[in-house]
């Protein structure tokens, strides 16, 4: 127990120093800043996360790191497990999570799921109106001719996600959305068979992915935005990860 905590706090310290978050304990230092890296506190556990994902998991400022705040706890927990155990590949995340036990990751997931902080106003799309319209149509209606279900049919009518483990799609940067959809299409991301996300994105063209990402990132987030309670209606297709574990990879 002590070994993994020491290693994790060393990782936090390295990230904190590189990002200007390291605090020297002097009379002038604020109590809040010192508390942020006090071992044993929740703030210390997530310091390495917030250096990229923003304070309280609001989202990074570079258009790539996604928002963590308010996502379903089961979804966040499953992503932490995936990074730690190699189901998702991103070396900085895998390094930070290596050796951390399940209950530790569950606590981190719960922390970010409970953060309900305002979303920034979205940027206006710079793409031609026809591309934006195409993206919105795919998100809300899908494409029956290609047997392509609407994003809203799984991620909720308000696109806020679905409990226990389907994430929301609004308030995310365009570049992040495009990279994750591209990852599903290329096989870098995958889930338990049948892998419904891989099947869906496999039917999308690069132009579809760009249009969906542009439209989603340009939508304002309503004040009532939150994951919906799972509907009794079945999903439009069978998803192995959702039905077997309650969470989507």
CATH topology identical between 2-19+32-113 and 129-245: yes
Q: Is the pLDDT of residue 229 over 70?
A: yes
Supply the DSSP string of 72-125, one letter for each residue.
Answer: -HHHHHHHHHHHHHTSS--HHHHHHHTT--HHHHHHHHHHHHT---PPPPPPPP
Report which of 24, 42, 75 is spatially closest to residue 249, judged by C-alpha positions. Answer: 75
Closest C-alpha to 249, from 187, 202, 204, 207: 187
Phi, psi of 143 (to 5 degrees): -145, 100
pLDDT of 33: 45
Q: What is the CATH number of domain 2-19+32-113?
A: 1.10.760.10
Q: What is the mean pLDDT of residues 215-223?
A: 91
> Where residue 232 falls among pLDDT bands split at 50, 70, 90?
low
Instruction: Write the pLDDT tens digit of every residue in 94-152.
Output: 998 999 999 999 999 999 999 988 888 888 888 999 999 999 999 999 999 999 999 99
- Alpha carbons 58 and 55: distance in angstroms, whole number: 6
Q: Place 41 in a pLDDT band, splitting at 50, 70 and 90.
A: confident
Domain ranges of the chain: 2-19+32-113, 129-245
Report pLDDT digits (tens) over 201-216. Answer: 999 999 999 999 999 9
Interatomic CA distance for residues 189 and 178, integer angstroms: 13
Q: Which CATH class is domain 129-245?
A: mainly alpha
Q: Is the distance from CB of 167 to CB of 155 less than 8 angstroms?
A: yes
Please determine, for residue 26, whether its predicted confidence score (pLDDT) is greater than 60.
Answer: no
């Amino acid at each position: 127990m002590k070994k993994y905590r020491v290693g994790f706090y060393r990782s936090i310290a390295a990230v904190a120093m590189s990002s200007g978050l390291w605090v020297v304990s002097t009379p002038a230092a604020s109590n809040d800043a010192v508390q942020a890296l006090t071992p044993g506190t929740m703030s210390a556990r997530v310091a390495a996360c917030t250096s990229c994902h923003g304070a309280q998991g609001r989202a990074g400022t570079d258009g790539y790191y996604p928002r963590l705040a308010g996502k379903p706890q089961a979804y966040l927990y499953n992503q932490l497990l995936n990074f730690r155990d190699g189901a998702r590949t991103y070396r900085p995340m895998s390094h930070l999570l290596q050796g951390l036990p399940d209950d530790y990751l569950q606590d981190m997931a719960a922390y970010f799921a409970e953060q309900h902080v305002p979303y920034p106003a979205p940027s206006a799309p710079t793409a031609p109106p026809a591309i934006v319209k195409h993206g919105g149509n795919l998100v809300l209606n899908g494409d029956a001719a290609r047997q392509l279900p609407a994003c809203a049919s799984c991620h909720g009518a308000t696109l806020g996600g679905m409990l226990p483990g389907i994430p929301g799609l609004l308030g995310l940067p365009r570049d992040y959305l495009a990279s994750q959809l591209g990852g599903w299409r290329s096989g870098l991301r995958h889930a338990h068979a049948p892998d419904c996300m891989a099947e869906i994105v496999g039917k999308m063209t690069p132009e579809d992915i760009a249009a969906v990402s542009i439209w989603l990132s340009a939508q304002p987030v309503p004040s009532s935005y939150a994951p919906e309670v799972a509907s009794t209606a079945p999903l439009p297709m069978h998803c192995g990860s959702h039905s077997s574990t309650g969470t989507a990879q």
